[in-house]
Amino acid sequence: MDFRKVDLNLLVALDALLDERSVTRAAERLAMSQPALSNALHRLRGLFADPLFTRGQRGLIPTARALELALPIKGLLRGADELLQPQTFHPAATTTEFKIATTDYMFVTLLVPLIERLQSDGPGIAVTVRSLESPDIPDRLARGELDLAISIPEFSAPHLQSRWLYTDRYVGAMRRHHPLARIRELSIADLCGHPHTLVAPAGGRVSGPVDDALARLGTKRAIRASVPSFLALPYLLACTDLIAVCPERLSRTFGAELVVFEIPLNIPSFDVIAVWHARSHNDAAHRWLRQALAALSSETHKPTE
């Protein structure tokens, strides 16, 4: 079939002619002139190699071939209409996979609630989580190997789209029976007088914003354990007298074995953002995912500043 010869508007014209059985009325319905629709009928006759209609006393009489075409054409036009409607996404009726790169901390604060939500709202949707430490995340977003990255603004690039999700700040955490646990307001001396644990990426520097703030005050802390994952903190803190400074939102997931406290340091808060490539900016499924993450962020997080 040579589809170059097929004009969808011709099928619309045939549909109207079959309904109206009159060139004049069909032309009015299609907001065309009567000669133009007559011309369209001429082309339809060529396309289907059939007269399609013969003239009767009151309008047109369809041929057997025209009657045979009536139902298939209605179905075809309904399908074309659905195809041209704005794209929508129904999570409950969709089977798909979202590939998201993030850190273990943001996995706990955002993706665990997302996956929990999907159990009821999108049972056919799978989430595959990748490490954010891979160096080619922007390229993988561009190639479609990743749908989204959840990170801090410094990670974003000019050619990527981004959306703010929430702002977090640093707090301290220690076990309930820690020697400092009964002190209401810790001093710098209290903080530096006890050993710490720190989350640092493999191969990265073994210090963080806490150490930078302490250095500005002319002091420092003793780091006794450096671990590569925030997920290790609750286990480590529960069985040692180590202190950890971590994002407040993460600290809310700690159990009753740990206590969370204000730190006597002025450390800037930080933003968490979603990052994606322009190729998926208008995709309905991607839009739904970004909206869901933003909603989860605002539902469970109150900005502290």
Partner DNA sequence: AATCAGCTACCTCGAGGTGA
Partner DNA sequence: TCACCTCGAGGTAGCTGATT
Region of 49 please: left (phi>0), alpha (psi -120 to 50) or beta: left
Asked if 186 is part of the footprint of DNA (rule: CB under 7 A), the reply reads: no
The DSSP line for 290-304 is HHHHHHHHHHH----
Judged by CB under 7 A, the number of residues near DNA is 23
The DSSP line for 230-247 is GGGHHHHHHTSS-EEEEE
The residue within the footprint of DNA, chosen from 24, 96, 219, 269 (CB under 7 A), is 24
Distance of CA 155 to CAs 133, 189, 275, Å?
A: 11, 34, 9
The residue within the footprint of DNA, chosen from 35, 79, 153, 303 (CB under 7 A), is 35
Six token digits for residue 113: 């609630």
Asked if 34 is part of the footprint of DNA (rule: CB under 7 A), the reply reads: yes
The residue within the footprint of DNA, chosen from 8, 19, 36, 204 (CB under 7 A), is 36
**Closest separation between CB of residue 282 and DNA, Å?**
20
**Closest separation between CB of residue 138 and DNA, Å?**
21
Asked if 33 is part of the footprint of DNA (rule: CB under 7 A), the reply reads: yes
Residue count (the chain): 305
The residue within the footprint of DNA, chosen from 23, 233, 245, 292 (CB under 7 A), is 23
The residue within the footprint of DNA, chosen from 18, 22, 140, 173 (CB under 7 A), is 22
Q: Around Cβ 292, how many Cβ atoms within 10 Å?
A: 20
Tell me whether residue 59 or residue 113 sits nearer to DNA (CB atom).
Answer: 59
Asked if 7 is part of the footprint of DNA (rule: CB under 7 A), the reply reads: yes
One-letter amino acid identity for 123?
P
Asked if 40 is part of the footprint of DNA (rule: CB under 7 A), the reply reads: yes
Tell me whether residue 76 or residue 129 sits nearer to DNA (CB atom).
Answer: 76
Distance CA 305, CA 295 (A): 19
The residue within the footprint of DNA, chosen from 29, 43, 169, 287 (CB under 7 A), is 43
Distance CA 201, CA 79 (A): 52
The DSSP line for 144-169 is TS-SEEEE-GGG--TTEEEEEEEEE-
Q: Are 292 and 284 in contact (CB under 8 A)?
A: no
Asked if 50 is part of the footprint of DNA (rule: CB under 7 A), the reply reads: no
Six token digits for residue 257: 């074995």
**Closest separation between CB of residue 68 and DNA, Å?**
19
Report the C-alpha dihedral over residues 200, 204, 205, 208, rounded to 10 degrees.
-40
**Closest separation between CB of residue 4 and DNA, Å?**
8
Asked if 184 is part of the footprint of DNA (rule: CB under 7 A), the reply reads: no
Tell me whether residue 30 or residue 285 sits nearer to DNA (CB atom).
Answer: 30
Binding span for DNA by CB under 7 A among 18-26, 150-158, 245-253, 279-287: 18-26
Binding span for DNA by CB under 7 A among 35-43, 133-141, 221-229, 274-282: 35-43
Give the footprint of DNA on this chain (CB under 7 A). 7, 9, 22-25, 31-43, 53, 55, 59-60
